[in-house]
Structure 1
Amino acid sequence: MIWVAATLIAATAQTARNAAQAGLTQEVGTLGATAVRFVFGFPFAALALLAVSVWNPPPSPGLTAIGWAALGAMAQIAATAFMLVTMRDKGFGVATALMKTEPVTLALIGAVVLAEPLGPARLAAIGLATLGVVLASGAAWGRAAWGTVATGVLSGALFGLSAIGFRGALLALTDGGYVIRAMTVLAITLGLQAAVMLAWLGLRDRAALRAIAAQWRLSLGAGALGAFASLFWFIGFALTPAANVRTLALVEVVMAQLLSGRLFRQTVRPVQLVGMGLILAGVAWLLAVAARPS
């Protein structure tokens, strides 16, 4: 059950990173804040891999692993941009909840693409937790701004696709333990993402590049948190199907709501508390199923 500890560490770090990115959006724009997690995260990932490779040589990635990593990398860039747009329009906690419809996407795509069917009990646990997400979002669905809700759900779907890409890359690496494989895929992924974002901003939005440089202290912190969180996500993906990891990660919704109340003074309504209870029940069910001997 190492994947459980890795997922909880990743979810905690990601909540802090999302808060840092949300604060940067006003200063550097949506694309600039999207680039921060990749451009400032890559040096941390590269240095960590270099340090570990002294004792544990990393596996050599083939074209299959690089292809899967590229799919995950590009989907994650798009997902992060939609996430920040949703945060700007609907608030930090609500945006996080909407994105966390992701496990449903993961369960479906994982079964088809990676041949990892989860079975009725796990699917039911994912469904229960996802219902909790819908309630915890706090959106007034009858009069919701559907364009903004759509960007949140689309962000979740793209994060799901990115997780499938990362899981595929990790499975394509046949040498080494799960930690060195996770570090290798992380360095490849962040390198691709940093190159793409720097090229795009250099051609289309140099003002955002200057703004990122001016906010380098906040950007460095967001990048470090992003690399740290991603490493533990990848460790989880290396050990169990991505849908298991992302369903357990729904505890992040509870963290985000608490953080919203403390930092952004957003109120939590009773229906949201019910939703958070369903999330925790679904996660507990998933863990109970996962702990059964196969």
Structure 2
Amino acid sequence: MAFGFLWIPATILASLLQTARNLAQRSLTDVIGVVGATQVRFLFGLPFAMVFLAAACLGLRTLPPSIGPASLGYTAWGALMQIAATALMLAAMRERSFAVTTAYTKTEPVQVAIFGALLLGDALSPLKFLAIAIATAGVIVVSWKLGEKLTRAGLRPAVLGIVSGACFALSAIGFRGGIQALPEGNFLIRASTILVLGLAMQTALLTFYMLVANRPALWLSLRNWRRSLSAGFLGAAASQFWFIGFSLTSAANVRTLGLIEVPLAQIASRRLFAEGTSRREILGMAMIVGGVGLLLLISLQ
């Protein structure tokens, strides 16, 4: 397949853009709250996703594929799980460092691998599962301090982050299922179509909710439109590259390579938030890089 390994640079770009988007959303959380910052990536990201789809259709001289019940159902599931995952992640970030919260959410790949094998029939060899397990163990080493007591205050952000990771796993499976269920179109058109569909669902649902339950946060996000627009663009661009990855390989491959976001988050924490990096965290990040490297060696064979 001519584009067989395009998922690798696409995933790396997605990770870089997602790190930037998380930083933008975190800065908005203190201004407009968790729900307000959650909806920004959808409401302000949808117009950019529509531009991406239009550009792909014009460039390839084709129309978007028709969307059947299976694709609609998978995408709706992915959209709902992503809303829950984003809200839980931002809530955890208010209580723990940016880097550690990112690490908690990245317990996702093992769950993605299992769900993908069971629900979508994605191939999962023992060696590939070992690579995913090593990288995920590195995440645990990064986030768990030796001898740290699990008080209620310390347990809450851990639970929020890990459950967020589970929701991100189910979201990835839903979106890959939606892309696979489309009847025609090349990988770029299929990825862009599901991105627009998913963001449209999320925007409609969250905007309705905020109009009913949290109207001030919606007005605040509109009032802070410059920062919201930045987060929306970064979110849409990151999702575009995630979805390109999903259209070309299993969600487990994409999400495991995406663990490079953890070292990126550590760098961001040190430079922007003056959050230090311990030897334990360096060891964990080395395990992440090792697991990701093994996955890539397997994939490139």
TM-score, normalising length: structure 1: 0.97
Deviation at 1:79, TM superposition (A): 0.2
Measured against aligned partners, the alpha-carbon deviations of 1:10-54 in whole angstroms (never above 9, x if no partner) come to 000000000000000000000000000000000111122233323
Instruction: Indicate the residue corresponding to 2:117 in structure 1.
Output: 111
Instruction: Say if 2:140 is the partner of 1:134.
Output: yes
Instruction: Indicate the residue corresponding to 2:81 in structure 1.
Output: 75
Q: Contact 1:45–1:183 at 8 Å: present in 2 too?
A: yes
Aligned with 2:148: secondary structure? helix
Given residue 92 of structure 2, which amino acid in structure 1 is its aligned partner? T
Instruction: Indicate the residue corresponding to 1:48 in structure 2.
Output: 52
Measured against aligned partners, the alpha-carbon deviations of 1:75-106 in whole angstroms (never above 9, x if no partner) come to 00000000001111111111000000000110
Once residues 122 and 141 of structure 1 are traced to their aligned partners in structure 2, the CA distance between those partners, rounded to angstroms, is: 32
Aligned with 1:133: secondary structure? helix
Instruction: Say if 2:213 is the partner of 1:204.
Output: yes
Once residues 77 and 265 of structure 1 are traced to their aligned partners in structure 2, the CA distance between those partners, rounded to angstroms, is: 29
Given residue 7 of structure 2, which amino acid in structure 1 is its aligned partner? W
Instruction: Indicate the residue corresponding to 1:273 in structure 2.
Output: 282
Query: Quick one: structure 1 residues 155 and 139, their matched pair in 2 at CA, closer, same or farther if it must change by over 3 Å?
Result: farther
Instruction: Say if 2:266 is the partner of 1:260.
Output: no
Instruction: Indicate the residue corresponding to 2:242 in structure 1.
Output: 233
Residue segments in structure 1 that go unaligned for 5+ positions in a row: none
Instruction: Indicate the residue corresponding to 1:177 in structure 2.
Output: 186
Instruction: Indicate the residue corresponding to 1:96 in structure 2.
Output: 102
Instruction: Say if 2:69 is the partner of 1:38.
Output: no
Instruction: Say if 2:200 is the partner of 1:194.
Output: no
Instruction: Say if 2:21 is the partner of 1:17.
Output: yes
Q: Contact 1:94–1:139 at 8 Å: present in 2 too?
A: no
Instruction: Indicate the residue corresponding to 1:284 in structure 2.
Output: 293
Deviation at 1:214, TM superposition (A): 1.5
Instruction: Say if 2:166 is the partner of 1:157.
Output: yes
Residue segments in structure 2 that go unaligned for 5+ positions in a row: none
2:12 maps to which of 8, 14, 19: 8
Deviation at 1:62, TM superposition (A): 0.7
Measured against aligned partners, the alpha-carbon deviations of 1:82-131 in whole angstroms (never above 9, x if no partner) come to 00011111111110000000001101111111112411001000110011
Q: Contact 1:137–1:272 at 8 Å: present in 2 too?
A: yes
Given residue 199 of structure 1, which amino acid in structure 2 is its aligned partner? F
Once residues 75 and 43 of structure 1 are traced to their aligned partners in structure 2, the CA distance between those partners, rounded to angstroms, is: 21
Given residue 75 of structure 1, which amino acid in structure 2 is its aligned partner? M
Superposed CA RMSD: 1.0
Q: Contact 1:138–1:269 at 8 Å: present in 2 too?
A: no
Query: Quick one: structure 1 residues 177 and 124, their matched pair in 2 at CA, closer, same or farther if it must change by over 3 Å?
Result: same
Q: How does 1:50-65 map to 2 (within 5 A)?
A: 50-54=54-58, 55-65=61-71
Same amino acid, percent of matched pairs: 47
Measured against aligned partners, the alpha-carbon deviations of 1:248-287 in whole angstroms (never above 9, x if no partner) come to 0100000000000000110100000000000000000000
Deviation at 1:63, TM superposition (A): 1.1
Once residues 147 and 104 of structure 2 are traced to their aligned partners in structure 1, the CA distance between those partners, rounded to angstroms, is: 12
Given residue 181 of structure 1, which amino acid in structure 2 is its aligned partner? R
Aligned with 1:143: secondary structure? coil
Number of residue equivalences: 292
Q: Contact 2:80–2:171 at 8 Å: present in 1 too?
A: yes
Deviation at 1:148, TM superposition (A): 1.4
Given residue 149 of structure 2, which amino acid in structure 1 is its aligned partner? R
Given residue 151 of structure 1, which amino acid in structure 2 is its aligned partner? L
TM-score, normalising length: structure 2: 0.95
